[in-house]
Amino acid sequence: MLRFLALRVARACITVALVVTFAFIVLRLSGDPALIILSPDSPPEAIAAFRKSWGLDDPIWQQYLRYFLAIIRGDLGVSMRDGQSAIMLVAERIPATLQLTIPALLIKIGLGIPAGIYAALHRNSAIDRIVMIGAIVGFTMPSFVLGLLLVLIFAVILGWFPSGGQDTWMHAILPVLTLGVGGAAILARFTRSAMLEVLGQPYIRTASAKGVPWARVVRGHAFPNASIPVVTIVGFMVGSLFAGAVVVESLFAWPGVGRLLVSSVANRDLAVVQCILLLVSITMVVSNLTVDILYGYLDPRLRTGGHT
Amino acid sequence: MTDATLPAEKAVRSREDGSGGKGIPVSVYIAIFWLVAMVGIAIFADVIRPYGITSMDLGNRLARIGNPAHLLGTDELGRDVLSRLIESIRVSLLIAFGASLISAFFGTLLGFLAAHFRGFVEQLVLMLADFQAALPFLILSLAVLAFFGNSLLLLVCLMGFYGWERYARIARGLAISASAQGYAAAVAQIGASPARIYLKHILPNIASTLIVSMTLVFPEIILLESSLSFLGLGVQPPMTSLGNMVGYGREYLTNAPWIMLAPAFVIMFTTLAVSVVGDWLRDRLDPTLT
């Protein structure tokens, strides 16, 4: 188990290091930082002084090393717009994003998994058909279309909820629904197919043949074995808690991390973009790591085998 | 007893799936018809478009659907929604096709390289594939757009990075198992070069699986491009794409919802149609793929 854990942690660290390297390469490829920050027609002496003070004349590996160490120290630079620390700017937005993504995650899990299990157990029933149609629509309908349709119906035509902003909890309902319903459909589809696959296995037939009550077969034999693909998808959803709402936040004018990302990209505020990129990759990697550890718990074969 | 029940169970199962019969389901006919229509519209966009995409009919702004001069109405500048829709279909399909081809080409190439050289190259490819699969691609592409600014070529190349890891994994796995089979060993014995073995012998044998994966990646690329364009960071005006139209149309949601609804339905039907055809192809060609 320790070996399994150590391998996974090492891989997680490599992934984060790769993201940092990716950001560094893209940053350098995108042009001379001196010319981006100063204007191209500043005096050559000023540009030379800038390059010297930021170490841009050093060999590229030294620059890379320095960049890496700065990030480890938590120094992610300042926003070009107001000189505020990029990390603070992003951290301020996190609570607003979580206000949307956590309730949405609860909807996805609370609606998606039971619907998927029910659909698998009652194959070809009306509920199964509805779940499958919902899953296909959830997959093919982009979140902005779903969001706009909800606005059209509930804000414009019925006038029940406001269409944008962040003043009361009423404002959160439409964005949370947009995020939650689409995700629930996807999760239901995965749960359904994982359950169907397990239900066709010989050990299920054995368990019910030896007289185990069907409810217990489902709870004790089928669901634990079907949970691995489901946990993978849920892990991905947890990993995107901080930045999974880019489109929805922009649509509903919700001041979260995703909207900050879009405006920073539009303004080419590189320090902020890089900070969000790191935040996203670290949450993603940590949740993947948690999923890997959960695998070891759910499937003892992986624990002893060590590699898959 | 098992021998007797298993085929019976299988028969029941395939009947339930609807894949047991030989005929093509109606939904697949409709989906193929829709896709052929979309490709036709994209190819002949210049001929069938009633107006130029930037020509304005100022006396007829925000005209409703069914207006005699403008079948799908007009937008806030009096531009014909139908003409813009036709042009958007062309641009969005072009980006998605271009990106799918790039992604399939490089993914397959990397998969073959990994299968051929094994060892370090294989580990490197697998590590990059893990890296790509672990990160939300929308965030990654937003970061690249922030650093490089925006152009159509960059957008296509960027979308071309989407999904390569799936082709690479599939191509690697299949190529490794194919090279263990007699036919690959036989042509290698005759003295064929590795490039010839992979391109002329292994590729045709695994093409069906790769085509099925393409039908899975293609709709995701359409959704990705339309999300970026919706955010105003994909296709830039005066060019137009489906996501772009929805993005601008949302300003007029209250008094002119058709500007946004028309492209939104085209996006949905197109991704739905590709998925339906893809699912059907998967059942026919390679049921093992998920």
Q: What is the pLDDT of residues B51-91, one digit of tens each?
A: 777 777 777 777 677 676 667 777 777 778 888 888 889 88
| Domain span including residue A204 | 86-303
Q: What total of structural domains would you count in chain B? A: 1
CB proximity B219 to A under 8 Å: yes
A125 found inside a domain: yes
Integer Cα distance of B214 and B77 in angstroms: 38
pLDDT digits (tens, 9 = 90+) for A51-96: 676 666 777 778 788 878 888 887 777 776 677 788 888 888 888 8
Q: What total of structural domains would you count in chain A? A: 1
Residue B209 tokens read as 């699986």
A264 found inside a domain: yes
A282 found inside a domain: yes
Report the pLDDT value the prediction gives residue A39, as an integer from 0 to 100: 63
pLDDT digits (tens, 9 = 90+) for A165-217: 777 777 888 888 888 888 888 888 888 888 888 888 888 888 888 888 888 88
Integer Cα distance of A276 and A255 in angstroms: 14
B143 with A26: Cβ contact below 8 A = yes
Interface A-B: count of C-beta contacts within 8 A: 122
pLDDT digits (tens, 9 = 90+) for B193-246: 888 888 888 888 888 888 888 888 888 888 888 888 888 888 887 788 888 888
**Mutual angle of helices B26-43 and B258-285, in 10-degree steps:** 120
- Residues in chain A within 8 Å Cβ distance of B223: 140, 142
A116 found inside a domain: yes
Shortest CA gap A141–chain B (Å): 5
| Domain span including residue B258 | 25-285
B positions 226-265 inside 8 Å of A (CB)? 226-227, 230-233, 243, 246-247, 250, 253-254, 257, 260, 264
Instruction: Write the CATH number for A182.
Output: 1.10.3720.10
- Residues in chain B within 8 Å Cβ distance of A30: 147-148
DSSP state of B76: T
A106 found inside a domain: yes
Are A286 and A12 in contact by the 8 Å Cβ rule? The answer is: yes
B247 found inside a domain: yes
- B46 class by beta-carbon count within 10 Å (0-12 exposed, 13-18 middle, 19+ buried): exposed
The arithmetic mean of pLDDT across residues B132-138, rounded, is 78
B3 found inside a domain: no
pTM of the model: 0.80
CB proximity B223 to A under 8 Å: yes
B221 found inside a domain: yes
The H-or-E segment that residue A223 falls in is helix A223-239
Residue B16 tokens read as 């339930």
Average pLDDT value for chain B: 79
Report the pLDDT value the prediction gives residue A271, as an integer from 0 to 100: 79
- B21 class by beta-carbon count within 10 Å (0-12 exposed, 13-18 middle, 19+ buried): exposed
Are B231 and B287 in contact by the 8 Å Cβ rule? The answer is: no
Q: Nearest by CB to B231, which of A141, A156, A262? A: A262
B4 found inside a domain: no
Integer Cα distance of B80 and B69 in angstroms: 9
Q: Which residue of A has its CA nearest to B229?
A: A247
CB proximity B268 to A under 8 Å: yes
B6 found inside a domain: no
Q: Which residue of A has its CA nearest to B250?
A: A148
Does the structure show a pLDDT above 50 at B6?
A: no
